[in-house]
Each structure stands twice: as structure tokens, then as C-alpha cells.
Amino acid sequence: MSPSEQIDQLIAGLTDWRGETLAGIRKTILAANPDIVEEWKWMGSPVWCLDGNILVGNAHEDKVKLTFSHGASLPDPDKLFNNGFGGKVWRAIDIFEGDKLDEDALKELVRATIDYNQAKKKTKAPVATGAKPQK
């Protein structure tokens, strides 16, 4: 089964508000950039990626959690992050039943993460090929 099919299956199995919420979030994430790839990692978590992980989406008993691996490095002008402030790297958005998530702000946060991933990728040193310099 492909990662997208696994995410479909996860959402279909969530027959309460969490399934509908995760489906809407997924649509918003994918609308942020057509090159985003869906992956299935860490023993059953949907992950959206482009030049690195963008975010992980998990349905918990009482919430849907969106965890941005490098959230502490991202601008959040709309104050979407509401969890993870004690750490130095990740930030999360916890969505509870009845919460409304600003879709445009989420798209901007996803795009900011892609920009961060691409900038980080550009600053990495090239990998040595093993070729010896010519004399």
C-alpha cells in the first residue's frame, strides 16, 4: 500500500470529528505546494515532505496534532503554534473538537517550512565523491 493509501485508510478509520479534521488539514497541506509528497513513517504516522519533513499529523484520543520538526525556527505571525514551546526545535498545533484552523495561515506555515528545508539543504556541504584532485 502506498503512503497516500495508508493515510486514506487512517482517515477512513477515524469516524468522528478527527477524521474530518485530518482530511481537511491534508487537503490544505497539499494545496500549499504541488510538489509535497506524502510519506508513512514511524510505525504509522502521516508525514508530508518536500526537501525534508514538513510536518507529522497524528490523531490522538482528544485532538489532532500537527508537529513541525523545525517549528522553533519558523515565523508564526498568525500564532498557530500552541504546543512545544519548551523545546528548542519542534513546535506543534493541537486541534481539539470544535476548533477552527486558519487554512491560509497553515498554508503559509507549510510554505515557510519548505523554504526552511530548502535553505538548510543549500547550506550543507557537498558530499565528497572520492575523486582525487588532478596534479
3-state DSSP of 66-84:
EEECCHHHCCCCCCCCCEC
pLDDT per residue as tens, the chain (135 positions): 999 999 999 999 999 999 999 999 999 999 999 999 999 998 889 999 999 999 999 999 999 999 999 999 999 999 999 999 988 999 999 999 999 999 999 999 999 999 999 998 887 655 555 555 454
**Do the domain assignments include residue 130?**
no
Domain assignment present for 131: no
Q: For residue 24, give the CATH number of its domain.
A: 3.90.1150.200
Residue keyed to cell 528545508 = 117
Residue 128 lies in a domain: no
> pTM score > 0.85 for this model?
yes
Say whether 107 sits in a helix, a strand or coil: helix
